[in-house]
Amino acid sequence: MDKKVLCIGEVLWDMIPSGRMIGGAPFNVAYHLNRLNVSVSMLSRIGNDEDGHEILAFLKRYEMDTSQVQIDHEKATSRVNVYYDDTNSVKYDIVFPTAWDFIDIPQEDSTWRDVDYLVFGSLVFRNIVSRDTVMYFLKNTTATRVFDVNLRKPYYSKYLLFDILPYVDVLKLNEEELLLISDWAGIGNIDIDAQLNSLMDLFDIKETILTLGEKGALYKAKDTLDHVFREAKSVEVVDTIGSGDSFLAGFLTRRISGDSIASSMDYAIALAGLVSSKKGGCPDYSCDEIGN
């Protein structure tokens, strides 16, 4: 029986200086899972407008499941203004409110209630309606709950994150997010390895994945004491939009198929490198290009 993944959260248009691209962290994960032949659905909400119609057309073009994409007849489809600061880091101006701030709990007959993996980020919690929907899933699912932290100012706080973390099975975050959460937890004065161990103990999290940008990524498990580090692939970077999302999709794809942690990390690193060498978070590519 195929494993099913449900990604919950934002799908949107990134408005970049050179044009616009489809995006949203959980959507990027869903896109890559679908490209890798994983059974995945995206629970989100779009407006009944041209932007929303084009999102549906994109999903259909790539044969992605649209059954859990809700249509809002009042709120607009989400847009995000993307720009680069003086250090060439990506910055986001995320319009509020938009359709995905009002994701409803699906109907009782939804076939996507029975899923094996639930993937979500922190941004979807910024409005009470979508927050209640995600918390309903977290509290009532038997799926492995995968939290891709993905902090975006000003839509997070210590109290929000600390409410979510006890429901997390797999935590993915970057160095900046780890430092912030560790400071909030009073463990910011210890090394990275100890911070990850402490967070897993504090919130009873089974697994953590720390992405380290151009340095690579680190996996740690609470119970098995697995510790796997992989260096990043040396590639000519076009942009880093969605590279962390593709990493998570690559990791989950191999985990779902029963591969080892080491193999899953290798595949995740390879996919993230490939995506970084292309434009946008959801580029066209074939599985053969991943090379792992």
Average pLDDT, the chain: 92
pLDDT value for 194? 94
pLDDT value for 111? 59
The model's pLDDT over 168-212, given as tens digits with 9 standing for 90+, comes to 999 999 999 999 999 999 999 999 999 999 999 999 999 999 999
Up-side HSE of residue 272: CA atoms within 13 Å toward CB? Answer: 29
pLDDT value for 260? 95
pLDDT at 1 over 60: no
- Domain extents in the chain: 4-286
Least confident of 117-121, 247-251, 274-278: 274-278
pLDDT value for 38? 96
The pLDDT-based confidence of 89 (bands split at 50, 70, 90) is: low
- Nearest residue to 177 (alpha-carbon basis) of 149, 217, 201: 149
Query: Is the pTM of the predicted complex or chain greater than 0.85?
Result: yes
pLDDT value for 117? 97
The model's pLDDT over 109-150, given as tens digits with 9 standing for 90+, comes to 565 668 999 999 999 999 999 999 999 999 999 999 999 999
Better-predicted residue by pLDDT, 227 or 172: 172
Right CATH for 4-286 from 3.90.340.10, 3.40.1190.20, 3.50.50.60, 3.30.43.10: 3.40.1190.20
Could you give phi then psi for residue 131, rounded to 5 degrees?
Answer: -60, -45
Alpha helices in the chain (DSSP H): 25-35, 50-61, 128-140, 158-164, 175-184, 192-203, 243-256, 261-276
Please state, in angstroms and rounded to a whole number, the distance separating the CA atoms of residues 280 and 10. Answer: 16
- Nearest residue to 100 (alpha-carbon basis) of 65, 54, 133: 133
